[in-house]
Each structure stands twice: as C-alpha cells, then as structure tokens.
A and B are shown apart, each in its own frame.
Chain A
C-alpha cells in the first residue's frame, strides 16, 4: 500500500523538509523542538537499531528462543514515543523496542523477557506507565480504552491544561486492525469520547499476509466511519511521527476525543527469528523501502542543520557500547529456579498452589536422593 495524497510528510526520504498547506501546523510544532531533542531522536533510533541487530545475533547464537525485530520502524516509534507527556500511559504491542527505550526501559529487560527469565519484563508503574508487551493480537486496544475510561471517570482530562490532562496511546499493527478488539475499541472510544490515540504501524505485513488482505482501502480511512478523526503519516519520518502524535494526544487529552494515526512504515526484517520472509515476499519491495530508511534520512537532515560528524560518531560509539553491554549481560543471565512457577498465579496464597508446590519440592527432593 503506497503513500496516498493524504500522507503527511515533513521530511522527504532525501532528508529535505517538505512544506505544504497540509503539514503547516505540524511544522509549527516541530519548530518548537530544540536541537537537543532532534539529536535525541537520532540517538534513540540509532541505539535501537544497533541493539536490535545485536539481539538478533544473540538469538541466532542460542541466547533466546525468539527475537522480534524492530528494524525499519524506528522513526514511527521514536517520534510517537517522545510525543507523550509525563502523565500519559502507553500500551505497546510486542515490537515497540524504540518506544520502550524512550520510556526508560532497559533494553536488556526485553531480552530477559524473551528468554523467559521474567514473565512480564518490567513494572509499568516504575517505567513511566509503559505497559507490558501484548502478544495476543489486538487485545491491548481494549486495555488502553479501559484505562482511558478511567481517566474520564477521574476527570483527569479535558481541563485544557496539556501539562496536566492525561491521555493514552496504544500501538498495534496492520494485521491487528482485522481483529474485533480493535474495531470494538474504536466503538467504545468514540462513544465515550475517550482521551485515546490509536497508533497503527502499518509495516505492510502480518507474518506472511500482506496488508492488502487486511484492507482494500487505506487503513487510515478505517476509523473515520467510527467517528474518530484520522491522519496518515509517513512513518519513516520521525518529525511527522512526533508532530502528528503530539497534536493528536493533545487533542485527545484536552477533551476533543480519540484520534487515529496510521504510520506507513515497513518491516525490513523477518516477522520474528522463526520466520523466513523470502518465502512470501520479493526483495524489490524491501529494497524500495530501504531507500526510505528513517535513520539515514534524519541523519541527512541533521547534517544539513550543521550537526557535526563528531555527534554521529559519538552515537555510533554509544550504540556499540550499549550493544556490547547487552551481549555481556545476556551471557551472564541465569535462568529462574523451578520454585518460581507458582508465584503470581494468584495474588494471594492459594491452597492448590501450596499443595502442588509442596508436591513438586518433595518430588524433586526424591530425585536428589537417587541421584
């Protein structure tokens, strides 16, 4: 699904600003960003990509059962992630490593999660309300709405003060748009006028199924029928991603109701490390999207602004160091003991858990004696 005449882009694939009537308001928002923020966009995209490559290698070396690459989607993720405000809640899917990074997650926690050393990975309360990865397609759209309803009940939005009013952002994929949960969340969000932004990363694939199977019309048109204003953006343009999300979140938080953003991007890598994309797509498509790389284009733009080579060099070194650190800590990880499997099945002591735990301990002890 190519860009449409409605696709909002601030930065062309060549790294040049695109200015027109449709993106004027967003440019105005971007002009408020200082140089440090622009550099952070680049830094976080570059660090995530470097980490993603390292993690994929660690998986191939047997350190994880599975890796889920984010390669190619960094701009959609980093831009939208920085658009949140401190009081907001973020509900990710499972590919949002860059969103995690921006929200203060130690990326190694994602490896810990995909090694099965923890079930959840992090505590959202201690990580800027960045909620847990959701693997069952589409569920989080409803969870996010549940939280948004709570904001409504608390009267925590709609005062007009963007520093105080709360909002929720939920991430999901093009495949997820076909799941009932997402449409149901649209209905609820519109009906309750909830402070919620639906952020779709259309990476063009749902495992082997192309987006054309999910929708015959551009997906950004989906939500308008539900009464939710929508925008389609160039998801490989970090500025468009930031500005569109900032504008939509602020509209939602100040009482103007939910918003929907379709970010056009591309899953350059495999669905997961278990997948072989050559089975179902040809390289030409991938090459065409590589030419629209989010990091290269933003780097060109920054250089045009006068950013020195030394900055990019520092980021490369930092990214390498983070990757090396991730490798070292992954190699040092120890798996959890069997005794933890009964923890957290229920919130409080449960007779059946106690009984089975005692049984397992006796049983394992009996092996100890025989061994």
Chain B
C-alpha cells in the first residue's frame, strides 16, 4: 500500500474534489465565493486555477438557486457538487433538498437519478453565533431519499466525498468548521470510504461511546483521559448517518453493555435519539447494564460569546464526566 500522507481535513476535501474533477468531466463545483476566493473556509483553494471557472463556479447569493440548479444539472447527467457556505443556509434551499432532490427518483419511478452532492460546513466553536453554527444533520436524515455523511477525519473527508460523488443518490456531506484545520493521515490516490459503514476508532471493554462529527475527536481525547483512570472505552464513529450501520453499533454496544451517545446537535430529536431507539429495539437492549446515556448540545441556539458557546455543546471534560458516571454508577 502507498504511504499515508499527512494533510488537513480541508486539503483532503480539496484533494477529493480535484481527483473527481480530473477523472470525470461531468463533475463541477458551484457555490458562493468558491472560485478566486477559494471558499469561505479555504476548502476549494486554488481549484479554480487548476480546473477553470466553468468547473469551479462562483455563484450569486441564492442557496435555493444553487441547489435547484444542482438538481437540474444532476438530473440531466452532470455530477454537481454544491457548497452551501454555512450549513445553516441549507434552510433557504430546503425545498430543493427535501421536496425535489430527495423525491425525484421515487416520483419518476426510478427513471431519473439525482447524483447531487451538497457540501455544507456545520457546527459551533468558531464564534459565528446562532445563525452560522447549527448542527442540522438530523433534518436531512429525516428525509427519505437523502443520504447523509458526516466525516470526522481527513481520510474520511476525502473518502466519503469521493463515494458521495459516485453515488447515484443525493448525498449531504456535513463537514465541520473546526475540523478543517485539523490534520490526519490520508491514503493517497482515488481512495474511497464506503457510505454506510461505521468505523470503530478505539476499543475498550468498559463502555461504548458513539459519537459524530467534531465529537469523535473529543471522545477519543476523553477516552485517553479515562484510560489513565482505568476506564477503557470503545469509540464508534458512524460516519454515515443514513444509511446507518446499525450492525456495527449494536455489536460494539453488546460487547461493553454500557453506551454513551455524543452529539454536538441539540438533544431533542437529534441523531443520537435515533441511535438510542435502535439500541432499545434490538438485541443490544438485553445486553445493556446501564440506561442509554445521551450527551448532546443544550436545546438552545448557539450563543455568540466564546465561553457561552463552549458551554452549549459537549466538550472533552463533559464526555469524561458522563462516561465516568456511567461506569461508576452501573
């Protein structure tokens, strides 16, 4: 196997974009400030210079328009990748996402595909306040017809995106603003991460932590702190929220009998509520020796002030404390 390359999460996304575009003429990128500027978070970088402005298209400010054009282009044989500058603004585009992209294949009896990829940075922690910091993945996972992936590492950011581009269904890729600058080892070349396969990132016998997005690295950090106290945690990263790899999650929970579910999104009806429901409906339930524990964002808009923003979503300390309680009390 070729040697791994260390790069940032955002470089990994860019590499996937470049590989897909170089390989397939139908692939193009659209979004606000994705061209000369290289993207609000620098993700598209120099792609406009490498691939030209026809294929890296700066758009007007119209999220509904951008996604709608993407749906049309996808239906007629292109492979559009649209960037929504902040995932919060998928709200503007929701008709095209939920009523169009998600349903066209079904409503046209399978005659037309919508191979559209929507990349959208989500999450808090950058001081961007209530309308630029939400974690909205559950919205999309709730819509039949959409696939939803949430890469937590650089290699997954690249591999899941390459899989998403090839997927004949609309795929929402929720990236995380805080992860863009983090580095990781990435497999070189056209390497995929399959959609629908979870990854066990660490194994330990005392409890199983299931975490998504930015909470994956926080959970791994928490697991090291817990290990120093003699508590060993397994950490599972679903990577794809829909379709969900329930098999891996159930198997890993059965092994330890304790489960802590960690998400950044607000708690009520979040993605982990679904995971909790899956665990309580399946054989995992009879292996549990403790109640299922969810650790999630508070049910509030993300506050602007940095110290309040931190308090609103699970941090490493919070994961350590919740895991410790779970193991000590049960």
- A contacts, CB < 8 Å to B: 65-66, 115-117, 119, 135-138, 175-176, 178-180, 206-209, 213-214, 279-280, 335-336, 338, 340-342, 345, 352-353, 356, 360, 363, 366
B227 contacts chain A at the CB level, 8 A cutoff: no
A213 & B307 in contact (Cβ 8 Å cutoff): no
- B contacts, CB < 8 Å to A: 32-33, 35-38, 40, 58-62, 64-65, 88-89, 92, 127, 129-132, 268, 298-301, 303-309, 311-312, 318, 321
A352 & B37 in contact (Cβ 8 Å cutoff): no
A209 & B312 in contact (Cβ 8 Å cutoff): no
Residues on the A chain within 8 Å of B38, using CB: 279
A68 to chain B, nearest CB (A): 13
Known: A66-B127, A136-B131, A352-B268. A208 touches B58 (CB 8 A): yes
B37 & A207 in contact (Cβ 8 Å cutoff): yes
B36 & A279 in contact (Cβ 8 Å cutoff): yes
Within 8 Å by CB of B61, from A66, A178, A279, A338, lies A178
A206 & B301 in contact (Cβ 8 Å cutoff): no
B132 & A135 in contact (Cβ 8 Å cutoff): yes
Residue of A nearest to B58 (CB): A209
Residues on the B chain within 8 Å of A119, using CB: 129-130, 303-304
A141 to chain B, nearest CB (A): 13
Number of A-B contacts (CB under 8 A): 101
Residue of A nearest to B301 (CB): A345
Chief secondary structure at chain B's binding surface: loop
B61 & A176 in contact (Cβ 8 Å cutoff): yes
Residue of A nearest to B311 (CB): A338
Report how far A198 CA is from B32 CA in the complex, Å: 24
Known: A207-B33, A208-B58, A360-B311. A116 touches B299 (CB 8 A): no
A116 & B129 in contact (Cβ 8 Å cutoff): yes
Within 8 Å by CB of A341, from B60, B89, B300, B321, lies B300
Known: A119-B303, A207-B37, A279-B38. A340 touches B60 (CB 8 A): no
Residues on the A chain within 8 Å of B299, using CB: 345, 352-353, 356
Residues on the A chain within 8 Å of B309, using CB: 116
Known: A116-B127, A207-B33, A341-B298. A65 touches B61 (CB 8 A): no
B60 to chain A, nearest CB (A): 3
Report how far A138 CA is from B61 CA in the complex, Å: 9
